[in-house]
Amino acid sequence: MSTAPAPARAAREVYRDTVAELLPGEPRLVVLDSDTGLFGGVDFGSAADRYLNLGIAEHTLMGTAAGLAREGRIPLVNTMAAFASSRAVEAVKIDIAMGNLPVLIAATHSGVSAGHLGPTHHALEDLAVMRALPHMTVVVPGDAAGTGELLRQALTLGGPVYFRLGRGATPDLPAGPPLRLGKAQQLRHGTDVTLAACGPYPTLAALEAADLLECEGITANVLHLHTVKPLDTPALLSSLGVRDTVITVEEHWSSGGFGSAVAEALSAVRPVRVHRMALPDEFVPVAGSQRYLLERGGVSARAIAERARDSLVSRSGGTR
């Protein structure tokens, strides 16, 4: 992704700043932290009693949020994606999702954004886990720029939200249509293939793949789906037109995540070929930056373009 723009800001920092801005004016909001350090130095002013650090205790973090939500509060809980979606998931399932409670789980360090922190801190199963839970809305902001807006919308839903954030700064996506929770953003129009992307680098890789393909006379639709659940199936279908191929791109293991969600949704309506660009079914055994680990796993502009090319060839009856 040599032509990708430079990283701008970290989505989790925009999340933090937005929370600090919202907290004083909305007395129902309560921030529960689990020693993440994200809120270090933040002055909540008159709302300081509604920031509570429970320490390194993720199950209790979720249960406590559920208790507060049952008493009319809107808790925002903060932990890393790996801990929210694996360690604490039973509390998320039983205490939060079952009650359809308005708890926003802000999960940082998602995907391989923890980089050299290693597989204990990578979260490549979280979309599969969270979207499997009834009532759960699953949101993946594509960049820092859109994070505040999606957060504000998510807090009005009145139900549980998994809000998936990365660790470090990522480049901002090019401007697109207004961000609406549950609605896909069409970032590029094309006629030959649909690239459906989720997450910062996957979406950038899809856009760059569209550039590569355009050089060869292939035009691609690029859809940015920041909401994995509920999935904007109508937008996917209309982007397909008469075509029957979609390539999904995500920062997740290949099973159960965004690509699976797209395949499930589309297969119920049309016979569509869904090619999933995702990380292979293995723990990531090496250090590296988020971008490096994704490219190593095959989530890169070049690989996407190649897959798109292949799908067009195979569809037209050609052979490789």
Note the residues at the interface with other proteins (CB under 8 A). Answer: 30, 49-50, 52, 54-55, 57, 59-73, 75, 90-91, 94-95, 98-99
CA distances from 251 to 34, 140, 150, 198, 218 (A): 24, 10, 19, 8, 25
Q: Pick from 15, 13, 12, 11: which is nearest to 152 by CA?
A: 15
Pairing of strands 137-139, 227-229: antiparallel
Are 109 and 123 in contact, with CB atoms under 8 Å apart?
Answer: yes
**Nearer to other proteins (CB atom), residue 103 or residue 205:** 103
Least distance from C-beta 92 to other proteins, angstroms? 11
Least distance from C-beta 161 to other proteins, angstroms? 17
**How many other CB atoms are found less than 10 A from the CB of residue 217?**
7
**Nearer to other proteins (CB atom), residue 99 or residue 288:** 99
**Nearer to other proteins (CB atom), residue 34 or residue 254:** 34
Virtual CA dihedral for 21, 10, 184, 316, nearest 10 degrees? 180
Q: Where are the beta strands (DSSP E) in 24-111?
A: 29-33, 51-53, 74-80, 104-108
Least distance from C-beta 98 to other proteins, angstroms? 5
**Nearer to other proteins (CB atom), residue 89 or residue 209:** 89
Least distance from C-beta 77 to other proteins, angstroms? 11
**Nearer to other proteins (CB atom), residue 96 or residue 278:** 96
Residue type at 173?
L
Q: Pick from 13, 140, 148: which is nearest to 81 by CA?
A: 140
Least distance from C-beta 58 to other proteins, angstroms? 8
**Nearer to other proteins (CB atom), residue 48 or residue 313:** 48
Structure-token pair, residue 185: 């953003």
Q: Which alpha helices (H) appear in 155-242, and where do they start and end?
A: 200-215, 233-240
**Nearer to other proteins (CB atom), residue 69 or residue 240:** 69
Virtual CA dihedral for 17, 21, 24, 27, nearest 10 degrees? -80
Least distance from C-beta 137 to other proteins, angstroms? 20
Least distance from C-beta 55 to other proteins, angstroms? 7
Q: Distance between CA 139 and CA 127 in Å, rounded?
A: 9
